[in-house]
Structure 1
Amino acid sequence: MISSTITVLLFLILITVSTLVIITRLGDGEPELFGKQLKVVLSGSMEPTFQTGSIIAVEEYSDNNTLKNGDVITFVNKDETLVTHRIIDIVESGEHTLYETKGDNNNAADNELVQQENVVAVYTGFTIPYIGYAVDYMQTPFGSALLLIIPGLLLVGYGIVTVWQIIIELDRKSKKVSKES
């Protein structure tokens, strides 16, 4: 019973990890779960809302979405990097909507206003602390390979141990039958 349970768990881990790696590689490189993109929090600017190393689930932003003060958005900044901060003010400038943002742990607002076109996602309210380190590592080629190889090696190792135990048990039974004859 225990042997079967361990085998099933190892197969499930292998299949789950393999599926996540393949989906990430086939997509745009962003891991997704149930239609939500997973983003890794790499700095402490949003603490205590998000701990460094957490993953957060975000929904892709479209112009139809209405953003308001207090929403947490992910946007592309002038350095072409993704930043996740909270909207603290909305500025209408002619046809354009601009957002003033600030990290919850920062003393001051961000230096530049965020153009609506630069908003890529909106935080959905789902966070898992510290798992982001693993997700970030999984996105590297070496990490992807390791996450596929380790469960496979565990499964093969467990199979070898199980077969070895069966051989030992059969040998004992064989010796027992020989002695009785």
Structure 2
Amino acid sequence: MKNKKLLKWVGRITSIIVYGFLITMIYLVVSSKIAGGTPKIMGHELMTVLSGSMEPGIKTGSIIAVKPVEDPAKFKKGDVITFKAADDPNTLITHRIMEVQTVDSTVQYVTKGDNNKSKDPSPVLAANVVGEYTGYTIPYIGKIMSFIQSKTGAIFLLIVPGVLMICWSVFSIWRAIREIEPPKEKTAA
């Protein structure tokens, strides 16, 4: 009797995990495709760290939560910001502010990666700041997120949980039918 209850709970927990994983993957893939960029969770954008410039605090391959900013001129020395690169606005960089400057009433930031020996070559205009690093980092998951955002990853991560869900459903149905069937009696001849 105890084993049946344990198996029932294990089955329920497994179902919740599989369904939760599938729903999470669908949400991440669909939201990133709709937004045309990074997935968003509770008002924060999840971004993959591609370089080691902020190590050891932010490791390469991690994902970080970046909160989009309304007032890009509000930052102070020591804040970690995400900004568009001066030479390529499609490239985002996350570095620490080393100095705040005001030039002709325009705020700009001198930035540096924590792991870099020197400051970034050119100051960052406040208008190029897209977000503020909130301190949330999940190490090594960024590699998985990059895979999820690829076409192959999207297909793989939608199909695999779907197949697992179908297999689990078939197993659950088979188990329920087995419990309902009465045992066959032997007849004497």
Q: Indicate whether the TM-score tops 0.5.
A: yes
SS of alignment partner, residue 93 of structure 2:
strand
1:28 and 2:36 matched = yes
- The residue that corresponds to 2:5 in the other structure is none
SS of alignment partner, residue 23 of structure 1:
helix
1:79 and 2:88 matched = yes
Q: CA–CA distance in 2 between the matches of 1:27 and 1:116?
A: 23
5 Å-filtered alignment, 1:43-62, equals: 43-62=51-70
The one-letter code matched in structure 1 to 2:133 is: Y
The one-letter code matched in structure 1 to 2:63 is: I
1:5 and 2:13 matched = yes
How many residue pairs get aligned? The number is 178
Q: 1:108 to 1:64 in 2, by over 3 A?
A: closer
RMSD: 2.0
Q: Give the structure-1-normalised TM-score.
A: 0.88
| Structure 2 gaps, min length 5 | 1-7
Q: CA–CA distance in 2 between the matches of 1:123 and 1:5?
A: 34
Percent identity among equivalent residues? Answer: 41
5 Å-filtered alignment, 1:20-169, equals: 20-63=28-71, 66-77=74-85, 78-80=87-89, 81-165=91-175
After TM superposition, the structure 1 stretch with the greater mean CA deviation from structure 2, 57-66 or 113-122, is: 57-66
Q: Structure 1 residue 158: deviation in Å?
A: 2.0
Q: CA–CA distance in 1 between the matches of 2:33 and 2:72?
A: 29
Q: Structure 1 residue 44: deviation in Å?
A: 0.3
Q: CA–CA distance in 2 between the matches of 1:180 and 1:7?
A: 41
Spell out, residue by residue over 1:44-77, the C-alpha distance to the aligned partner (whole angstroms, 9 max, x if none).
0000110111111111122365100011111111
Q: CA–CA distance in 2 between the matches of 1:82 and 1:64?
A: 15
Q: Give the structure-2-normalised TM-score.
A: 0.85
Q: Structure 1 residue 104: deviation in Å?
A: 0.3
The one-letter code matched in structure 1 to 2:166 is: V
SS of alignment partner, residue 4 of structure 1:
helix
Spell out, residue by residue over 1:20-57, the C-alpha distance to the aligned partner (whole angstroms, 9 max, x if none).
22122222321111111111111000001101111111
SS of alignment partner, residue 24 of structure 1:
helix
